[in-house]
Chains A and B, each alone.
Chain A
Amino acid sequence: DIVMTQSPDSLAVSLGERATINCKSSQSVLYSSNSKHYLAWYQQKPGQPPKLLIYWASTRESGVPDRFSGSGSGTDFTLTISSLQAEDVAVYYCQQYYTTLMWTFGQGTKVEIK
């Protein structure tokens, strides 16, 4: 099984400042045949299902503000919120979909306002 580990577990950032969340997979999620990283990022607010932000490690889902960006390769990935807004307070999860239909998620990172 591919284990996904996020860091930190929580972080507090001032409004307008940058927030950075890291995600490490226990093995590469790069599919060599198409050179794509099978890595996604979600945002979840209380009482709501997760909302897809990023897929293929760096492709922003339609409608997601451009202050959200994903980067990384191999086994190390990052979600960056370039200028934190109040509505970004949430829990963020990374997820691998390299193993077909057997997804695994990171433990989540809680983002709060400092």
Chain B
Amino acid sequence: EVQLVESGGGLVQPGESLRLSCAASGFTFSSYAIIWVRQAPGKGLEWVSSISGSVDTTYYADSVKGRFTIFRDNSKNTVYLQMNSLRAEDTAVYYCVKASGAWFWGQGTLVTVSS
């Protein structure tokens, strides 16, 4: 059974950093692309960042480019989203998604950026 479990969310102040994790199980992790999608409170879905399966090509939305870094540790079946210089507008539920083969969404982790 495919599982994706996000963790690492919490309350931080503007300018601080946070690292989200997406732990995967139930599939051959290294072969599949993973995407982060976020949803601000009461708002729609926004693609944030992606990492491909085999060659680790990365992609970023303009809104996070230069501040967020996506990377994966295939030995731990985990994708990370390192978020630096956080802003109030980064407040959202962050979902990780298995984005190749059969798609699968995790349950999300809430990030709140507030002073």
Contact = CB atoms under 8 A, between A and B. Distances in A.
Interface of A: 42, 44, 49-50, 52, 55, 93, 95, 101-108
Contact of A103 (B37, B51, B106, B107): B37
Contacts of B35: 101, 103
Interface residues of B, number: 20
A103 B48 CA distance: 9
A108 B46 CA distance: 11
Given A93-B44, A101-B35, 18 more contacts: A49-B95, A49-B106, A50-B105, A52-B103, A93-B45, A95-B45, A101-B33, A101-B50, A101-B52, A102-B50, A102-B59, A102-B61, A103-B47, A104-B47, A105-B45, A105-B46, A105-B47, A106-B44
B12 interface: no
A101 B32 CA distance: 11
A104 B52 CA distance: 17
B107 A49 contact: yes
A105 B95 CA distance: 14
B111 to A, nearest CB: 15
Interface string B73-114: 000000000000000000000010001000101111000000
Contacts of B95: 49-50
